[in-house]
Every structure is written in structure tokens, then in C-alpha cells.
């Protein structure tokens, strides 16, 4: 029996650690769901005027309404939509009535419609301020000759289009057959439930392995 004390303690400690990690992930899940609820509430709140100096943290997802005119400067970001296929997000320069140059993500356009004229000039855009984090080490450099980008990189797009580093994702129609792709919280990672299940499963496996070890030790003694 004394030989089994160490394996038993080791097994119990291991299970305790794994179960505690699973519980911690459930606590993180509750926190993340609260954060997502706050984000959704903010996204859907009444729009306000564009702040004088938008902040990437304080003003993230802020609903705004802006009137102005599209200058004709634009670029397209390659995307793919389920059950539709590849297409582009149309990023256009909006010159506001106050004389500011900002970017508007007008929404989705199919590959076939990319070459069609975009005639809408004067608009009032309702949308949300975002600073997407879509660029990583595998993102190709933009094809500037074709005006094609592979991720929404706000600072780089602003430099290319000579605008403020401000992107408004339209949730209202801006015409030209472009379908808005409104902001929602689905893009915010929330894998805590999967992590919790993983830790609990590992605890179950640990318990099984510990039981098997004790059973084999007992058989050897007999």
C-alpha cells in the first residue's frame, strides 16, 4: 500500500490542476460573454458625429453618422463569403462636409461586378469605427497596380489613400450594388468553452491513467 501513496498523490494533484484550469476557462467564458454583450450593445446604439480625433481603443465599434462625398479614390480588399465565393470589400475615400478625408468600408462586391462603374458621390454613411487586426506574417503585400489588398490595414490604407487613419464600416446602403457588411462581435475570438472541455477531458484521461497504474501495481503485488 505504501508504494501506491506517491502515485495516488501524483494523480490527485494532476487532476486538481487540470480541473482548476477547466474551471478557470469557464470563468473566462463568462467574462468574455459579458464583454461581447457590451460590444454588441455599443455596435447597435444610436450613432453620433465623427469624433475630432478618434482613438483606436476608446472609440472602437463606436456608431457614427457622417455626410459627405466620395472622391473616387478607393481600393478593394479581397474577401470570401460563405455560399457566395470570392469578392471584395470596397474601401472608398469620403470627404466629409467638414472637409476631412476618412475611409469608408462600403461593403461587399462580387468579383464579376468589380469593374462596373461606381457612380454614387454624395452620401450619408451610418456605420461603426473599427481598426481591424487582419495583418500577420503571412499576409501578401498589396497589389497597388490593381488596387487590390489582402487585408484591411488601416494605417497602410490611410497612407495609400491620403486620409486620416479612420475606417467606418458602413451598415447603411451606399449604392452601386455594394452590400454592406456590418460589424458584429462574431469576429472576436471566444474559444474558452473549447479550452474548458479540453482541460476537463485531460483530467478524465489523467484519472484513467492513474487508475490503470494503480491497478497494474496491485496486480504485480499479488
- Is the residue at 1 inside a domain? no
Residue of 151, 92, 86, 98 lying closest to 118 (CA atoms): 92
Q: Tell me, what's the pLDDT at 8?
A: 73
Q: Tell me, what's the pLDDT at 5?
A: 74
Q: Tell me, what's the pLDDT at 213?
A: 77
Q: What is the DSSP string of 120-158?
A: --EEEEEEEEE------TTPPPPBTTTTEESS--HHHHH
**Total Cβ atoms within 10 A of residue 15:** 17
Q: Tell me, what's the pLDDT at 221?
A: 61
d(CA 184, CA 195): 23
pLDDT (tens, 9 = 90+) of the chain, 222 residues, equals 566 677 777 778 888 888 898 889 888 888 878 777 777 877 888 999 999 999 999 999 999 999 999 999 999 999 988 777 889 999 999 999 999 999 999 999 988 888 888 888 899 999 999 999 888 888 999 888 888 899 999 999 999 999 999 999 999 999 998 999 978 776 667 788 898 889 889 888 888 888 787 777 777 665
Question: What is residue 88's three-state secondary structure?
Answer: strand
Contact 67, 102 (CB under 8 A): no
Q: Tell me, what's the pLDDT at 28?
A: 86
Q: Tell me, what's the pLDDT at 2?
A: 65
Note the pTM of the prediction, 2 decimals: 0.75
Residue of 109, 104, 103 lying closest to 78 (CA atoms): 109
Q: Can you give the residue range of the structural domain that contains 172?
A: 62-182
- Is the residue at 170 inside a domain? yes
d(CA 164, CA 162): 7
Q: What is the DSSP string of 188-221?
A: S---HHHHHHHHHHHHHHHHHHHHHHHHHHHHHH
- Is the residue at 72 inside a domain? yes
When divided into structural domains, the chain yields a total of: 1
- Is the residue at 7 inside a domain? no
- Is the residue at 139 inside a domain? yes
- Is the residue at 144 inside a domain? yes
d(CA 125, CA 68): 8
- Is the residue at 86 inside a domain? yes
- Is the residue at 99 inside a domain? yes
Amino acid at each position: 500500500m505504501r508504494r501506491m501513496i506517491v502515485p495516488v498523490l501524483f494523480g490527485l494533484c494532476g487532476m486538481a490542476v487540470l480541473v482548476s484550469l477547466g474551471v478557470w476557462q469557464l470563468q473566462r467564458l463568462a467574462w468574455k460573454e459579458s464583454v461581447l454583450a457590451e460590444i454588441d450593445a455599443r455596435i447597435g446604439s444610436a450613432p453620433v458625429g465623427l469624433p475630432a480625433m478618434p482613438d483606436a481603443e476608446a472609440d472602437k465599434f463606436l456608431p457614427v453618422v457622417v455626410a459627405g462625398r466620395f472622391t473616387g479614390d478607393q481600393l478593394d480588399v479581397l474577401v470570401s463569403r460563405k455560399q457566395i465565393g470570392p469578392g471584395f470589400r470596397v474601401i472608398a475615400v469620403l470627404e466629409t462636409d467638414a472637409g476631412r478625408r476618412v475611409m469608408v468600408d462600403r461593403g461587399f462586391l462580387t468579383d464579376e461586378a468589380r469593374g462596373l462603374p461606381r457612380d454614387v458621390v454624395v452620401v450619408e454613411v451610418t456605420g461603426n469605427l473599427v481598426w481591424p487586426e487582419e495583418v500577420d506574417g503571412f499576409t501578401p503585400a498589396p497589389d497597388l497596380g490593381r488596387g487590390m489588398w489582402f487585408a484591411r490595414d488601416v494605417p497602410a490604407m490611410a497612407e495609400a489613400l491620403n486620409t486620416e487613419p479612420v475606417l467606418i464600416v458602413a451598415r447603411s446602403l451606399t449604392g452601386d450594388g455594394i452590400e454592406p457588411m456590418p460589424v458584429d462581435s462574431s469576429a472576436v475570438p471566444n474559444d474558452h468553452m473549447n479550452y474548458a472541455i479540453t482541460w476537463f477531458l485531460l483530467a478524465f484521461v489523467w484519472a484513467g491513467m492513474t487508475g490503470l497504474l494503480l491497478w497494474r501495481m496491485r496486480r504485480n503485488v499479488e
